[in-house]
Chain A
């Protein structure tokens, strides 16, 4: 399976190098810090997309990695990939935080996300992003969670299904439905 994932420019900037493909065997023996380096920007992006609060996202991301570190010996590759495992922990921590806070804050836009583009392209990009954000805001929380896992977290459909506790076909169908909804919203 191809495990190379594309990332947003902002996320790419946080990484020194793109994550190399990793086999299941290597994943089972991967050191924790290697797992952290490979997944940290995506985990943060997912948590931040879900919580929409930078401070809370930092807290939850740190908490998630600490939990993962403490439970690292309990990881079994037979149950799923290490990425799905880490994202599962992060999701639980984020949902706990959501329950505690029950609030949604607006995440500040990082102007550095748009780099090396012409003013026209910048305006077009900004417009598109605002359109996408507005469409995302209209999604149900569960749909937003799925979108965050797939695109911010960069998980495969199988890993996303694992984290959400769904079958892969069910997860794929729901994702398709959600993206179609977003596409129609963006077209409007």
Chain B
């Protein structure tokens, strides 16, 4: 302890001693003076009036009742306790944050499309006039558009027993029966088949056979093998729309159908739109060809050739889009999933444990989501509360200058 600190401690002790004994007791002259000052200050402390003391004592005994004739009632009439608006603002800010967070969560979950987009929508967007039209990329038929060559996907290396194979589709010869000449409808279906583990191999082979029998093909397949043979599998088939019902029926005969869905998308409008634009683009190109033949100067000829090149690319792109829709409406897409029967059947303790685990995971996920919403609100509310308190304390202290 420094000398100053010693002096302070000694002085404070002397003051406390004087207050405790109500007497000047220090030997040191300076401390004696401090004690005298302390006692003088305390002696000058104001005392409450009898009437006020009695009224307040009564109010305390009665639990501070409110009324105009009570001490507190009169005080309430003179002293208005104004709640600082800051706390109201802080509460309002917390509510706004809660609403904003809630809306963002709702919007993010609502972003997922609830309806299937019309297939080919990405490829039916109108090309800007005069823009360089790039040929469309390979469609899901596995065939590059705008080119006569077909691109084959390489087989993926087998890893952990899984393999992906792609079979190039047969050339599209056009003129397929569409069922309804005026409408263009893309049809698709998905199916989940379950079979005992020792039958999955046969079922997998049967899927490809069914597709071939109905003049279809396997676009994509994936089969996962385990210790006991095939474990799971998935197939993407393409069959003529006229054969869709029969194909689904035969697939259902292969194994136990766990689920089946079918969907249709009417793409007549985009198809018609592309047709119209193709006509217009073709007419424009023919017009440019005629003008090219009548060109009077090299500059005019070069300009026309440039425009003709753009027009040709546009026509090619539109034709490719049209072909894509025609193929998609000519062939139905069928997705088939294979699963081992008995794996997802609820029976026994193991299944009960799985169900319990899934329920727990679901509840935990929900709790985490709720926490994700509530935590920022709580943080904002806490910060706002702390800020209000700090500001209120600062304002109070400012009364002392």
List which A169-187 residues lie within 8 A (CB) of chain B: 172-173, 175-176, 179-180, 182-183, 186-187
List which A70-118 residues lie within 8 A (CB) of chain B: 70, 92, 95-99, 102, 107, 110, 112-113
Q: B46: CB under 8 A from chain A?
A: yes
Shortest Cβ distance from B146 into chain A, in angstroms? 78
Q: Tell me whether B47 and A44 are in contact (CB under 8 A).
A: yes
A10-B75 Cα distance, complex, nearest whole Å: 24
A-contact bits for B9-23, CB 8 A (1 contact / 0 none): 101100110111110
With a CB–CB cut-off of 8 A, which chain A residues contact B81?
63
Q: B379: CB under 8 A from chain A?
A: no
A98-B399 in contact given A40-B53, A173-B8, A183-B33 (Cβ < 8 Å) = yes
Q: A163: CB under 8 A from chain B?
A: no
Q: A26: CB under 8 A from chain B?
A: no
B-contact bits for A147-170, CB 8 A (1 contact / 0 none): 100011010110000000000000
Q: Tell me whether A140 and B45 are in contact (CB under 8 A).
A: no
With a CB–CB cut-off of 8 A, which chain B residues contact A24?
none
A48-B22 Cα distance, complex, nearest whole Å: 22
Instruction: For the complex, count residues of B whose C-beta is within 8 A of A.
Output: 50
Point out the residue from B19, B52, B401 that lies within 8 Å of A142, measured CB to CB: B401
A33-B44 in contact given A6-B21, A59-B75, A95-B400 (Cβ < 8 Å) = no
A173-B4 Cα distance, complex, nearest whole Å: 10
Q: Tell me whether A65 and B41 are in contact (CB under 8 A).
A: no
Q: Tell me whether A61 and B34 are in contact (CB under 8 A).
A: no
List which B57-87 residues lie within 8 A (CB) of chain A: 57, 59-61, 63-64, 71-72, 75, 78-79, 81
Shortest Cβ distance from A180 into chain B, in angstroms? 7
Q: B249: CB under 8 A from chain A?
A: no
Point out the residue from B63, B75, B398, B400 that lies within 8 Å of A63, measured CB to CB: B75
Interface, chain B (partner A; CB < 8 A): 7-9, 11-12, 15-16, 18-22, 30, 33-34, 36-38, 40-49, 52-53, 56-57, 59-61, 63-64, 71-72, 75, 78-79, 81, 395-401
